[in-house]
Chain A
Amino acid sequence: MARPSDSSHLSADAVDLPTAAARPAGNGFIRRYSRHKSAVVGAVVLAVIMIACFGASWLAPYGKNQQNLDLAVHGPSLDHWFGVDELGRDYFSEVLYAGQLSLKIGLAVGILATMVGAAAGVIAGYFGRAVDDVLMRVTDLFLIVPGIAVLAIALRGLGQRDTTIILVLSALAWMRVARVVRTQALSLREKDFVVAARASGASHRRVMARHLLPNMLGAIVVNATLAVAFAVLAEATLSFLGFGVETPRTSWGTLLEKASGTVGTPTVYLLYFPGLMLFLVVLCVNFIGEGLRDAFDPGDGER
Chain B
Amino acid sequence: MSDGPLLSVRDLRVEFPTSGGLLAAVDGLTFELSAGETLGVVGESGAGKSATASALLGLHPREAKVTGSIQFRGQELIGLGDKELRPFRGDRIAMIFQDATSSLNPVLRIGDQIAEAIRAHYDLSRSELKARVVGLLELVGISSPAERADQYPHEFSGGMRQRAMIAMAIANDPDVLVADEPTTALDVTIQAQVLEVMERIKERTEAAIVMITHDLGVVAGLADRVLVMYAGREVELGGVEDVFYRSRHPYTRGLLASLPRLDRRGAGGRLHRIDGNPPSLLEIPSGCEFHPRCPYALVGLCDVSRPELTVVGDAHWSSCHRWQELEPR
Residues of B within 8 A of A195 (CB): 54, 59, 97, 103
Q: Are B132 and A4 in contact (CB under 8 A)?
A: yes
Assembled-state Cα–Cα distance A225/B95 (Å)? 40
Chain A interface extent, by class:
35 or more
Asked if B152 is at the interface of the complex by the 8 Å CB criterion, the answer is yes
- Asked if A12 meets B139 with Cβ closer than 8 Å, knowing A192-B102, A201-B117, the reply is yes
Smallest distance from the beta carbon of A286 to chain B beta carbons, Å? 23
Q: Are A201 and B204 in contact (CB under 8 A)?
A: no
Assembled-state Cα–Cα distance A192/B59 (Å)? 12
Q: Name the interface residues of B24-70: CB closer than 8 Å to any CB of A.
A: 54, 57, 59
- Asked if A4 meets B120 with Cβ closer than 8 Å, knowing A193-B102, A197-B105, A204-B82, the reply is no
Residues 264-302 of A, flagged 1 when their CB comes within 8 A of B and 0 if not, give 000000000000000000000000000000001111101
Asked if A191 is at the interface of the complex by the 8 Å CB criterion, the answer is yes
Q: Are A197 and B116 in contact (CB under 8 A)?
A: yes
Q: Are B105 and A20 in contact (CB under 8 A)?
A: no
Smallest distance from the beta carbon of B233 to chain A beta carbons, Å? 25
Partner of B155, one of A21, A210, A217: A21
Partner of A299, one of B90, B91, B106: B106
Most buried by B among A1, A14, A18, A296: A14
Q: Are B106 and A303 in contact (CB under 8 A)?
A: yes
Chain B interface extent, by class:
35 or more
Asked if A23 is at the interface of the complex by the 8 Å CB criterion, the answer is yes
Partner of B140, one of A12, A193, A217, A302: A12
Residues 71-107 of A, flagged 1 when their CB comes within 8 A of B and 0 if not, give 0000000000000000000000000000000000000
- Asked if A8 meets B120 with Cβ closer than 8 Å, knowing A210-B108, A217-B107, the reply is no
Q: Are A8 and B89 in contact (CB under 8 A)?
A: no
Q: Are B59 and A199 in contact (CB under 8 A)?
A: yes
Residues 212-251 of A, flagged 1 when their CB comes within 8 A of B and 0 if not, give 0011010000000000000000000000000000000000
- 19 CB-based A-B contacts, threshold 8 Å: A1-B173, A2-B205, A13-B141, A17-B157, A17-B193, A25-B150, A192-B103, A193-B103, A195-B59, A195-B103, A196-B104, A200-B90, A200-B120, A201-B89, A201-B91, A214-B105, A296-B107, A298-B106, A300-B154
Not counting A17-B190, A199-B95, a sample of 19 additional A-B residue pairs whose C-beta atoms are within 8 angstroms of each other reads A3-B173, A4-B173, A4-B205, A5-B131, A5-B132, A8-B135, A12-B141, A13-B141, A16-B143, A25-B151, A192-B97, A193-B102, A193-B105, A195-B97, A199-B89, A200-B90, A202-B120, A298-B154, A303-B153
